């Protein structure tokens, strides 16, 4: 059996060899962004690259046409490590979250591990997970893969994410719920007979006003943000229909459920005040809070430092987002590493972040991410103690989480 250090050296060489293809595909994805569940060209190119370098592909898994599973080892034996790829973009800003980097770092790691597959005591899969961004209905591709059993035979899951600093994701994320509200009124001529109408726009505006007042009584960690997706038609017609979508975030599933009920009451009050009829539904499956795994995170951090990266030791204290990778972390030990591609001045979910994926720092994050993922997978496959520690930590965290 080749030792872990030698396997890591070979993985590094394999990433270097494929790096031009990874960078080229990432830059192409920047120029051709696709929203969640519409990533047909991106998924096709990523899977073609993995297949070219030895992957055995299943496309369109879990009922999602753009999802995939790439087996990068000849046989499926335990333990199995899943490397996670995301590739959806954001409306208006394109790859303002850097998922083109995530996808190609994952692909590069899978290709590198295929090159040393004969010496690996276990299996590696790259899972292509569509629609991480909650920009489209029925987003959260990882949740569908969980429900269809694609994580049942997985022992650990790892991924990278571009960011404005280098660090291991040792903090949690927020539970996120997605609610769509629809108000149904009655049209009327806004000048000649406004009294004959029921104004659905007034109802949705009242919803936003009520939420604004609700915020005073919410914990500082809670987030409520929404958009009006349909506000009416012609200004001289009393709007008979309006709609809005909200994303509601809290620290725990219980807090999130309580928040949903409070915001629904805000909508019900708007309907009652205006006489409109209200309908609401969850347009996206709940994203759970991230349960970080420190055992794997420590190994991941050592590997990134070995590549010359300086890592921030503590997570930022201000704010948190949400991810369907949190759902994965409730099932298997999971860690996400963040790699710097730009400074904080770019903000996030912005065109500036998308442009940063084209820079030398953006390209370096692909190769460092691919290598770090491959090295950490090697650690997990060659060290039963590490994997056992990761499992034990998750079991304890789940008990505390409950």
Does the pLDDT at position 1 exceed 80? no
* The pair of three-digit structure tokens given for residue 358, joined into one six-digit string: 């084209």
Query: Over the chain, what is the mean pLDDT?
Result: 96
What span, in angstroms and rounded, lies between the C-alpha atoms of 51 and 124? 14
Give the 3-state secondary structure of residue 184. Answer: strand
Q: 328-353 pLDDT, tens per residue?
A: 999 999 999 999 999 988 888 999 99
Specify the residue for token string 């790699």. Answer: 339
DSSP code for 116? T
Average pLDDT, stretch 243-258? 96
DSSP code for 52? H
Give the model's pLDDT for residue 401.
67
Give the model's pLDDT for residue 57.
98
The architecture (CATH level 2) of 175-287 comes to 2-Layer Sandwich (3.30)
Q: Who's near 148: CB < 8 A, 6+ residues apart?
A: 61, 62, 63
DSSP assignment of 325-375, as one string? HHHHHTTS-EEEEEEESS-GGG-SSSHHHHHHTTSHHHHHHHHHHHHHHHH
Q: Exposed, middle or buried: residue 287 (CB in 10 Å: 0-12, 13-18, 19+)?
A: buried
Does the pLDDT at position 318 exceed 60? no
Give the model's pLDDT for residue 316.
61
CATH superfamily to which 4-173+289-401 belongs: Zn peptidases (3.40.630.10)
Q: Show the CA angle centred on residue 186, arms to residues 182 and 192, nearest 5°.
A: 140
Helix (H) or strand (E) holding 104: helix 99-115
Give the 3-state secondary structure of residue 15. Answer: helix
* The pair of three-digit structure tokens given for residue 285, joined into one six-digit string: 């499956």
* The pair of three-digit structure tokens given for residue 135, joined into one six-digit string: 């920009």
What span, in angstroms and rounded, lies between the C-alpha atoms of 98 and 354? 6
Give the model's pLDDT for residue 317.
57
Does the pLDDT at position 319 exceed 60? no
- Each domain of the chain, given as residue ranges in start order, spans 4-173+289-401, 175-287
Give the model's pLDDT for residue 17.
98
Q: Who's near 116: CB < 8 A, 6+ residues apart?
A: 2, 7, 10, 11, 14, 378
Strand ranges across the sheet with 277-287: 223-230, 241-250, 175-184, 277-287
Does the pLDDT at position 315 exceed 70? no
Residue 282: Cβ within 10 Å count: 12
Does the pLDDT at position 402 exceed 60? no
Q: 173-204 pLDDT, tens per residue?
A: 999 999 999 999 999 999 999 999 999 999 99
Distances (CA, A) of 211 to 214, 218, 254, 273: 5, 10, 19, 15
Q: 80-104 pLDDT, tens per residue?
A: 999 999 999 999 999 999 999 999 9
Q: Is the link from the previous residue into 79 a cis peptide, with omega within 30 of 0?
A: yes
User: What pTM was computed for the model?
Assistant: 0.93
Q: What is the CA radius of gyration of the chain?
A: 23
Q: Exposed, middle or buried: residue 388 (CB in 10 Å: 0-12, 13-18, 19+)?
A: exposed
Q: 157-167 pLDDT, tens per residue?
A: 999 999 999 99
Contact 270, 380 (CB under 8 A): no
Give the 3-state secondary structure of residue 279. Answer: strand
Which residues on adjacent β-strands are paired with residue 84? 127
Contact 260, 300 (CB under 8 A): no
Residue-wise burial string across 288-326, b where 16 or more C-beta atoms lie within 10 A, e elsewhere:
bbbbbbbbbbbbbbebbeeeebebeeeeeeeebebbbbb
């Amino acid at each position: 059996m080749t030792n872990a250090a030698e396997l890591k050296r070979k993985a590094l060489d394999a990433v270097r060899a494929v790096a031009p293809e990874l960078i080229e595909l990432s830059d192409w994805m920047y120029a051709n962004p696709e929203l969640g569940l519409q990533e047909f060209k991106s998924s096709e190119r990523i899977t073609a690259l993995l297949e070219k370098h030895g992957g055995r592909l299943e496309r369109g898994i879990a009922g999602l046409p753009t999802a995939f599973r790439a087996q990068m080892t000849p046989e499926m034996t335990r333990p199995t490590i899943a490397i996670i790829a995301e590739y959806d973009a954001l409306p208006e800003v394109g790859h303002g979250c850097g998922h083109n980097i995530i996808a190609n770092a994952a692909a590069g790691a899978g290709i590198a591990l295929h090159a040393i597959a004969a010496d690996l005591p276990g299996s590696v899969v790259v899972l292509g997970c569509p629609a991480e961004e909650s920009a489209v209905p029925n987003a959260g591709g990882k949740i569908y893969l969980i429900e269809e059993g694609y994580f049942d035979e997985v022992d650990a899951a790892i991924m990278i994410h571009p960011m404005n600093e280098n660090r291991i994701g040792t903090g949690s994320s927020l539970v996120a719920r997605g609610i769509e509200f629809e108000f149904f009124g009655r049209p009327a001529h806004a000048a000649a007979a406004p009294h004959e109408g029921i104004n659905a726009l007034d109802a949705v505006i009242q919803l936003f006003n009520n939420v604004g007042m609700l915020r005073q009584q919410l914990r500082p960690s809670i987030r409520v943000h929404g958009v009006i997706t349909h506000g009416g038609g012609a200004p001289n017609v009393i709007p008979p229909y309006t709609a809005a979508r909200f994303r509601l975030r809290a620290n725990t599933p219980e807090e999130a459920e309580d928040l949903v009920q409070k915001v629904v009451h805000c909508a019900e009050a708007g309907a009652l005040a205006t006489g409109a009829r209200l309908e609401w539904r969850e347009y996206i499956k709940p994203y759970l809070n991230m349960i970080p795994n420190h055992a794997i995170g420590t190994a991941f951090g050592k590997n990134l430092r070995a590549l010359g990266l300086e890592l921030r030791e503590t997570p930022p204290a201000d704010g948190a987002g949400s991810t369907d990778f949190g759902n994965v972390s409730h099932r298997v030990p999971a860690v996400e590493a963040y790699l710097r591609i730009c400074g904080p001045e770019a903000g996030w979910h912005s065109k500036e972040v998308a442009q940063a994926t084209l820079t030398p720092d953006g390209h370096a994050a692909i190769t460092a991410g691919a290598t770090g993922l491959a090295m950490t997978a090697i650690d997990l496959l060659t060290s039963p103690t590490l994997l056992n520690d990761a499992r034990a930590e998750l079991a304890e965290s789940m008990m505390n989480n409950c």
